[in-house]
Amino acid sequence: MKPPVSPELFNYIAISLSRFKWQLLAWSAFFFCLFILLQSQIQFNTPSPLVWLAIFILFTAIESLVIAAFIFFFQVLPSSRENNVKWQQFYRTIEWCEALLFTLLLPLPIILFIYAFIQLAII
C-alpha cells in the first residue's frame, strides 16, 4: 500500500508551484509589515472587525511563509542527485522527515485561525 504523502508527491507539487516562491515570500513580508502597522494602531476600544482583520493578516503571512518554505524544501530532492547508496538513504530519511513535518505545518496556520475564531466567538 502506497502512503498518501511522500517526498515525491511533495516534489511534484513544489515543482508545479515553484514560480510562485518569491511572490509568496514577498507577500509574507508585506503581510508581516502590515500586521505590525495595524498592531500598533489597535487599542482597547478598537472595533472587533479590525482586530480580526489584523489576526487574519498575521495568519495569512504565516501561511504564505510556510508554503514558500515548502516549495524551497521540496523543489529538488537531494536523494535524486546522489549516487552513493549510504548518502542516498540518509537523504531519503531526511526527505521523509520533512514530508511528515510539512504534512503538519501546511494546514496548521489555517487550523489555528479557525480555532482562535471559534474560541473568541464563544467568549
- CA–CA gap between residue 18 and residue 14 (Å, rounded): 6
**Overall domain count for the chain:** 1
Residue 1 lies in a domain: no
Q: What is the DSSP letter of 44?
A: T
Q: Is residue 68 part of a domain?
A: yes
Tens of pLDDT, residue by residue over 38-63, are 888 888 788 888 888 899 999 999 99
Query: Which range of residues forms the domain containing residue 57?
Result: 7-122
Rounded to two decimals, the pTM is: 0.88
Neighbours of 60 (CB within 10 A): 20
Is 12 a domain residue?
yes
Rounded CA-CA distance 72/18 in Å is: 8
21-34 confidence digits (pLDDT tens): 999 999 999 999 99
Helices assigned H by DSSP within 1-123:
7-17, 21-41, 48-74, 85-105, 108-122
